[in-house]
A and B are shown apart, each in its own frame.
Chain A
Amino acid sequence: MPAIPRPVPDSDSFAPTFASGFAPLSARRLYTFGGIALIAGGLLFGDIFAVFILHQNAARQGEALSAASRAIVAGNAAAVNERFSHLGNVLEDRGTKVDAHVHIIGAGYLALLLALVQPYIALSRQTKKSLAALFIAGGVLLPVGIFLIHYIGLRGSPFSAIGWASLLADSAGALLILVLILQAWGFWKYVRSRQLSEPELPDEDSVSHRALLTGGTILILLGLLHGAYYSGALLYEHERMETTILQRLISAATVGNLDAATAEINNFGNLAGARAVNIAAHAHIIEFGLLAMLLSFVQPLVFLSEKWKRRWVKLLLGGSVILPVFVLLELKLGMLAGGIADIGGLMVMVSLVGMLVGILRYSGGLDVAETVVAEADAAEGA
């Protein structure tokens, strides 16, 4: 393994060394491109899910519960089971799509992280590259498998409870775990040898870098505080309310009071909505905070002018605040807030694509070489 003594020195000698560290198809490049592409893809999927599936799915859940309560009034236990089979199907449809969205973005974050820690992974260049390819493949196959669970089900499966799509998702998850374990082993080797396997990312003190770092930390802190508030003040109350509402619904249906049952179904829907928006706001603000921090590290690789970098950073941080805040406001403002939240997600996506374009420009070897020469000339002149 070609070891590079640490620390990586001044910018004059750093740039060419670093450029080779980010050569085409290196592990770091694979993780960076793959990570940003996975996150942008996950956000796009989430926006499509929110606009075209989420609310329709909630309405179908309400309809299924309403039909089940009518079956109780009619004293028809077989019809109840049939309705619940349908409800299970509706919930699985929603759950697998949420899981696919969460896991594709999670894999993207991990890929970006692994891009950052590559200098500390003391494995051969080829091994690191193969691991990166395996990780990206696992990051794609995991959400694909989860997404297909609802459509494939147990068709053709030799198991009683696990279908082929679940097996695909589980295998992809195992692949990600294997790659992480091997990365940990590589890191352990680095700790023992103290030899960097490639140059570290350069330090940057630009406004865009600091804004992403500070903004990201604040977003995560806000998300943790909101999570602490939710679990302390609302979680247990919501859990108690769910059982209480279902008890009232069953009691009303048992005595044939369909109006009261319908009112409880509405209460159940509102409660589910309250839980969903709180959890979504908590998860999204923390995810965007992490994303901002991760992107702060790759700013040296974004070959755009500082003006354009700042524009993308403003768009990203703006979207990162708008989405969770308006998701929370959905309870008060309804679909209007939902639409604004979707625009927030779109802002984050556009900024990611903008930064990706800047990173793609970095891969032009001639541009890099010219920049290095120009910088070296300027340094000598100074």
Chain B
Amino acid sequence: MMTGSRKLLIFGGMAFAALGMLYGLQYALLVEHQTLDHMGGSLSQSFAAAASRNAGESQAALEQYGETKYDYVRQVDAHSHWTGLATLMIVLGVIFERVNFSEGIRQLVAFSLLAGSALFPLAIILQTYHHGALAWKALAVVGSGLVIAALAVTAWGFARPGTAG
């Protein structure tokens, strides 16, 4: 039976999968190669400036490397987590009737998964605009917390007696 919670998970999961892939595609096409060049170039420049005994330029280039890598890691993380969480949502959507709670609770769990899967990668992306901003870190914690809590309740629902069938 295609309940509301299952629809939420399957439809939301497919939308996130497409979104995550589209994000990854645009990043790979428009940003990634330039970022990798910039990252390698900064580190190389830092060492080359040190060889020329220019400590100031070396330090500035090293900081640039650190910031570029900070962004790169998070962009890749956002892409992979969006797609991965989407996959999890679709998988759970197929068997969500086996979670032995009322449909109301299942919808709450599904919504928690949906919200967490949207917020967590979004917060990771936002961190690239404001490095170290506490608000985006907190949003990432809230997003991942929603996913973990929803999955814990789901595991409990699977384990409860009479879940089969």
Q: Pick the contact of B51 from A77, A177, A296 — CB < 8 Å?
A: A77
> Does A213 contact B51, Cβ atoms closer than 8 Å?
no
Chain B nearest CB from A112 CB (Å) reads 9
Given contacts A76-B51, A180-B17, A224-B151, contact A290 B37 (CB under 8 A): no
Q: With both chains docked as a complex, state the minimum distance between the C-beta of B66 and any C-beta of chain A, in angstroms.
A: 4
Whether a CB of chain A sits under 8 angstroms from the CB of B44 is yes
**Contact, CB under 8 Å: B18 / A120:** no
* B164 adjacent to A210 (CB under 8 Å): yes
Q: Is the CB of A297 within 8 A of B58?
A: no
Nearest residue (CB) in B for A106 is B83
Contact B40 A84 (CB under 8 A): yes
CB neighbours of A83 from chain B (8 A): 47
**B-contact bits for A161-191, CB 8 A (1 contact / 0 none):** 1100010011001101100110110011001
Report whether A72 and B51 are in contact in the complex, using a CB–CB cutoff of 8 Å: yes
Interface-lining segment among A247-255, A318-326, A353-361: A247-255
Per-residue contact bits, chain A 200-236, to B (CB 8 Å; 1 contact, 0 not): 0001010000100110011011001101100110000
Q: Is A109 an interface residue (CB 8 A)?
A: yes
* Residue B105 at the chain A interface, CB threshold 8 Å: no
Judging by beta carbons under 8 Å apart, are A286 and B84 in contact? yes
Nearest chain A residue, comparing its CB with the CB of B164: A205
Size of A's binding interface in residues, CB under 8 A: 72
Shortest Cβ distance from A116 into B: residue: B94
Task: Check B47 against A71 for contact (C-beta < 8 Å).
Answer: yes
| Contact (A74, B51) CB under 8 Å given A7-B1, A228-B148 | yes
Please state if A224 and B144 are interface contacts (CB–CB under 8 Å). yes
Tell me, yes or no, whether B147 is within 8 Å of chain A by CB.
yes
User: Within 8 Å of chain B (Cβ to Cβ): is A113?
Assistant: yes
Whether A84 pairs with B33 at a CB distance below 8 angstroms is: no
Contact assessment for B46 and A246 in the assembled complex, using a CB-CB cutoff below 8 Å: yes
Residue B102, interface by CB 8 Å: no
Given contacts A173-B24, A180-B14, contact A117 B90 (CB under 8 A): yes
Chain A CB within 8 A of B88 CB: yes
Check if A228 sits within 8 Å of B144, measured CB to CB.
yes
With both chains docked as a complex, state the minimum distance between the C-beta of A316 and any C-beta of chain B, in angstroms.
16
Q: Shortest distance in angstroms between B127's beta carbon and chain A's nearest beta carbon? A: 11
How many Å from the CB of A367 to the closest CB on chain B? 26
Which among A79, A177, A225, A290 is the interface contact of B21 at CB below 8 angstroms? A177
Assess whether B37 is in contact with A161, with CB atoms less than 8 Å apart: yes
Contact bitstring A55-95, B, C-beta under 8 A = 1, else 0: 00000000000001101101111011101110110010000
Q: B165 at interface (Cβ–Cβ under 8 A)? A: yes
Partner among B2, B33, B49, B95 whose Cβ is within 8 Å of the Cβ of A213: B95
Which of B7, B37, B49 makes the CB contact (< 8 A) with A191?
A: B7
**CB-based contact B98/A213 at 8 Å:** yes
> Which of the residues B63, B88, B154 comes within 8 Å of A243, measured between beta carbons?
B63
Closest partner residue, chain A, to B22 (CB atom): A177
Q: For the complex, is A294 an interface residue (Cβ under 8 Å from B)?
A: yes
- CB contacts (< 8 Å) of A290 on chain B: these are 87-88, 91
> Is B148 within 8 A of A250, CB to CB?
no
A380 to B124, CA, bound (A): 60
Would A177 and B25 count as touching, CB distance under 8 A?
yes
Do B33 and A166 touch across chains, with their CB atoms under 8 A apart? yes
> Which residues of B in the span 12-53 have a Cβ within 8 Å of any Cβ on A?
14-15, 17-18, 21-22, 24-25, 28-29, 33-34, 37, 40, 43-44, 46-53
Question: A116 to B96, alpha carbons, bound, how many Å?
Answer: 13
Min Cβ gap B81→A in Å is 9
When distances are taken between beta carbons in the complex, the residues of chain A under 8 Å from B91 are 113, 116, 290, 293-294
7 additional A-B residue pairs with CB within 8 Å, beyond A184-B11, A296-B95, A297-B94 = A72-B47, A72-B51, A184-B18, A213-B95, A228-B148, A247-B59, A254-B50
- Taking Cβ atoms with an 8 Å cutoff, the residues of B that contact A are 1-2, 7, 10-11, 14-15, 17-18, 21-22, 24-25, 28-29, 33-34, 37, 40, 43-44, 46-53, 55, 58-59, 62-63, 65-66, 69-70, 73, 80, 83-84, 87-88, 90-92, 94-95, 98, 140-141, 144-145, 147-148, 151-152, 154-155, 158-159, 164-165
Name 11 A/B residue pairs within 8 A (Cβ), A-sorted: A75-B52, A106-B87, A113-B91, A162-B33, A173-B24, A205-B164, A217-B155, A225-B148, A239-B69, A246-B65, A293-B92
